[in-house]
Amino acid sequence: MELTHDEMEELLGVYALDAVTPDEAEAVELHLRDCPRCRAEVAEHRETAAVLAYAGSPAPPQVWARIAGTLEAEDSPPPWLDLARVVSMQDRPRGGDRRRSLPVRFVASMAAVAAVVIAVLGVQVSRLDERTDRLDAALQKEGLDQAVQAALFDETARRIELRSDDGVTFAKAVVRDNGDGFIVSDNLPGLSDDRTYQVWAIVGEQPISVGVLGNDPGVAAFTMSAPGVTVLAVTAERAGGVASPSGAPVVSGMLPVT
Amino acid sequence: MSRSPVDRQSTGAPGSEEGSVASALQDMSDGGLVVAIARYREEALAEAYRRHAGAVFALARRVLVDLTAAEEVVQEVFLRLWTQPDKFDPDRGSLRSYLLAQTHGRAVDLLRSDTSRRRREEREARQTAEAGYDLEHEVWDLAVADQVKQVVAVLPPAERRAIELAYFGGHTYREVASLLGEPEGTVKSRIRAGLKRMRTALKSSDLTDTDLAWS
């Protein structure tokens, strides 16, 4: 279906409402791949339609029960991961000639099982990456606060309470497995423009700079890739940061043991 | 997870681990929720359901009429969000509009594959059009919030009727043209113009997607 751009534009409203034939829908979708302006228009039409669909009725709980039931059913291990079935009772060594030949079969079958398990786990891990990578990138666009929310929600992330010696000044940090760290504090006092807060990971007794936070951080990101970190500390330094801390930490805290 | 997402606010004492997770979820943006869903967090799906399933169900019910079919569409839409969360592209719009577009597409597919229902709907629509009565009059009045009604009120009747027949009636623009006895090009233009008109009205009102999502 060959259409001019003007003809294509005329279809955008009805396309957004699913009021086109399958041929027309296909033509519009092809066009949208290369036309950001038309993509934006369709997105706007859909947002408007979403407002029309608005209804104050509550979510139907009986449907949620069915959805939750389906998810729970999916939680059971897939049949091809059931190792007990792969090596059946009949194949167990019982004596005689079979005793010699079976271990080879057993090893071979276990190797096959291992290969399947590795492949399956590999697929699952890459699937999870696919599910999260693009969304993570999009999330970063939404801003730091959103990334912090995601980190706070991450159960595997380590949480650190940082305090000053007198306990008056405090901050919280969260570090994800990938090293992405965020520090949140609403009571670190603001510094002058020529100063900055800097965050240090202490490995043994060696401080390693993991981020320069600015003079009024509130929420700030840092990256902590070094292993064996026991303590996080924040110092006040000259703007731009320094190679090693010049004074005592403003706040510090121990990392939980993993 | 068997408890209802609708009741979840009442569970978990404030300050408890469960309470803080629930609270983090309630404060989380839709984008954050979808990332959590991508990490197979069922409670994030429950929160998305709590926020949007009411609108999803209402739209499916409106298009399909049949309660059971509408519930099946709701189930399908949220299970698809669970299995394919990466289909949602935050750059292309809100989670709510994404879910509703999925819902509408699926409902319309069902409607168009069901020829007997189709015939019935067309007959009803034709009668309605002939009688000069707004097909969705009742819905506009009962289900649409006052602010939304104000936005809809900017539509000239001809644009409004074409949008109603296409969106809630599930008709193609060619069918709408036939039902209204108007040229296809006119119907296409009216629907597009009407959507743009409402968009402009929405932008100038204080009504935001967030207001709707949390209502």
Measured between beta carbons, the chain A residues lying within 8 angstroms of B193 are 13
Instruction: Based on DSSP, count helices (H) and strands (E) in chain A, helices before strands.
Output: 7, 8
What pLDDT sits at residue B193? 97
Looking at the structure, tell me whether residues A34 and A114 fall in a common domain: no
Is A145 domain-assigned?
Answer: no
Best-predicted range by mean pLDDT (B34-38, B120-124, B139-143): B34-38
| pLDDT interval class at B8 (50, 70, 90) | very low
pLDDT on residue B108? 93
Q: A163 and A239: one domain?
A: yes
Q: Give the residue-averaged pLDDT of B141-167.
A: 79
A61 in any annotated domain: no
- pLDDT over 80 (residue B126): no
At the second CATH level, the architecture of B115-215 is Orthogonal Bundle (1.10)
Task: Determine the average pLDDT of the residues in B16-33.
Answer: 68
Percentage with pLDDT > 70 across chain B:
68
Looking at residue A128, its pLDDT comes to 55
Which has the minimum average pLDDT: A48-62, B62-76, B161-175? A48-62
CB A60 within 8 A of CB B57: yes
How many angstroms separate the Cα of B90 from the Cα of each of A101, B29, B37?
58, 11, 14
Query: How far is it, in rounded angstroms, from Cα A174 to Cα A197?
Result: 17
Test B176 with A67 for CB contact under 8 angstroms: no
Which regions in chain A score pLDDT beneath 70? 1, 54-57, 74-146, 258
Topology of domain B19-113, CATH: Rna Polymerase Sigma Factor; Chain: A (1.10.1740)
Asked if the structure places residue A211 within a domain, the reply is yes
Q: How far is B189 from chain A (nearest CA, A)?
A: 6
Residue B153 neighbours by CB distance under 10 Å: 11
Task: Judge whether A35 lies within some domain.
Answer: yes
pLDDT tops 70 at residue B75: yes
Q: What is the pLDDT of residue B78?
A: 96
- Tell me the pLDDT of chain B averaged across its residues: 77
Tell me if A102 is assigned to some domain: yes
A12 contacts in chain B (CB < 8 Å): 192
Question: Of the ranges A124-133, A234-243, B133-142, B197-206, which is most confident?
Answer: A234-243
Evaluate whether residue A68 is within a structural domain.
no
Domain range list for chain B: 19-113, 115-215
Whether residue A67 is contained in a domain is answered as no
Please spell the DSSP secondary structure of B45-99, one letter per residue: HHHHHHHHHHHHHHHHHHHH--HHHHHHHHHHHHHHHHH-GGG--GGG--HHHHH
Number of structural domains chain A divides into = 3
- Report CA A109 to chain centroid distance, whole Å: 36
ipTM: 0.79
Nearest CA to CA, how far is B129 from chain A (Å)?
A: 18
Chain A partners within 8 Å of B40 (Cβ): 128
Q: Across A214-218, B77-81, B208-212, which has the greatest mean pLDDT? A: B77-81
